[in-house]
Amino acid sequence: MNAVKRIYQRDRHIFRLIVMIVAWMIFMAITRFDKFYTVVNFQTMAGQFPEFGLMSLGAMLCMITGGIDLSSVGIANVTSILLALFMNAQAAKSESGDISVAMIALVFVMAVCIGLVCGSINGLLISKVKIPPILATLGINQLLTGVCMVVTGGNAVSGLPAAYSASINNKILKVVPGKRGTMQGLIPVQLLFFVVAALLVWFLLMRTSYGKKLYMMGTSENVARFSGVKVDRMLIKTYALSGMLAAMGGMIMLANYNSARSDYGNVYTLQCILIVVLGGVDPKGGRGKISGVLLAIVLLRLLETGINRFPQISSYYITLIWGAVLLLVMVLNYFEDHPIVKRK
């Protein structure tokens, strides 16, 4: 009980997110225990959320600077489409009609590079040309989506080499008993990508001078400039990082859908912003923890999957519930910052 109290006192926001997750888990346990609490269900969730989870991490970094990144989905799609075409071309050239593991590794390096370039353009527009982040990233998003449409003619790129999806959309640690005595993997590969990225972002924020400067700059760009922080370079770095994370998200999408199209993941643009705000990052910048964002990602995934277990509830309600949860958290935050003083 004391531990609970400590968490509450240290960070009420995170405490509330935990309470909501626990409450929802209990609710699901009472109503749909056998359909919700299965290994497969949790594996499915863990395979899905890294798509937008990776983008949310990038969005969080940008929001800590006091900016916003609306180009994640555009970057993700341009990455997945270009690399899907590349892999198809490579597979066509090879004799086996498939690609090697080394080729998959190369593809990921290329993905990171594409994300780096796109994100850096965002950063340059924001820091050097002084375009407000919301407009710069929205513009880049439109531009990249346009590139995707022109390249694909609006069609999906499919028929990917089997090796790609087989290695990314897969599970490792074969301990779960499957059919006919075989063993199946426990942990989805997509989750590994996400965990590595999350650890990296945590390390950057909490343990490096970059992280410290990022929070300071988000608090006041002007003071940071007067303190000798290279504000322009910090902004370019941050948006580049966000671009790289978005590109990784695109690669996960490519594996999950086994195809790429210019309008995949459109809802993620706003969903990422919702997650970041829900996770307690201050839209004005300077404040926010990765733990909050992680909890928000998990909460949203649990909510959506949980609701899907009730066939009588239309999936249209999911949007409604997300909106309600977001508003509830914001209202609670408001009252935390402005406590109601009881008059005598």
- What radius of gyration, in Å, describes the C-alpha atoms of the chain? 21
Q: Kindly report the length of the chain.
A: 344
Site for another protein (CB under 8 A): which residue of 223, 270, 313, 331? 223
216 binds another protein (CB under 8 A): yes
Stretch that binds another protein, among 40-48, 76-84, 228-236, 300-308 (CB under 8 A): 228-236
Question: One symbol per residue from 159 to 198: x for binding another protein (CB under 8 A), - otherwise; what is it?
Answer: ----------------------------------------
Residues 219, 23: Cα–Cα separation, whole Å: 34
Buried b (16+ CB within 10 A) or exposed e, 304-337: bbbbeeeeeeeeeebeeebeebbeebeeebeeee
12 binds another protein (CB under 8 A): no
212 binds another protein (CB under 8 A): yes
Residues 278-317 within binding reach of another protein (CB under 8 A): 286-287
Residues 136, 123: Cα–Cα separation, whole Å: 9
Q: Is 132 left (phi over 0), alpha (psi -120 to 50) or beta?
A: beta
Q: What angle do CA 75, 297, 34 make, to 5 degrees?
A: 125
* Site of tokens 């949310």: 56
| CB 341 to another protein: min, Å | 11
Site for another protein (CB under 8 A): which residue of 35, 37, 225, 267? 225
Dihedral sign (CA 216, 217, 222, 228): positive
10 binds another protein (CB under 8 A): no
209 binds another protein (CB under 8 A): yes
220 binds another protein (CB under 8 A): yes
Residues 244, 19: Cα–Cα separation, whole Å: 32
> Quick check: helix, strand or coil at residue 260?
strand
277 binds another protein (CB under 8 A): no
202 binds another protein (CB under 8 A): no
Instruction: Tell me whether residue 8 or residue 215 sits nearer to another protein (CB atom).
Output: 215
208 binds another protein (CB under 8 A): yes
Structure tokens at 285: 């910048």
226 binds another protein (CB under 8 A): yes
| CB 231 to another protein: min, Å | 10
| CB 211 to another protein: min, Å | 8
Residues of this chain that interact with another protein (CB under 8 A) are: 207-213, 215-216, 219-220, 222-230, 286-287
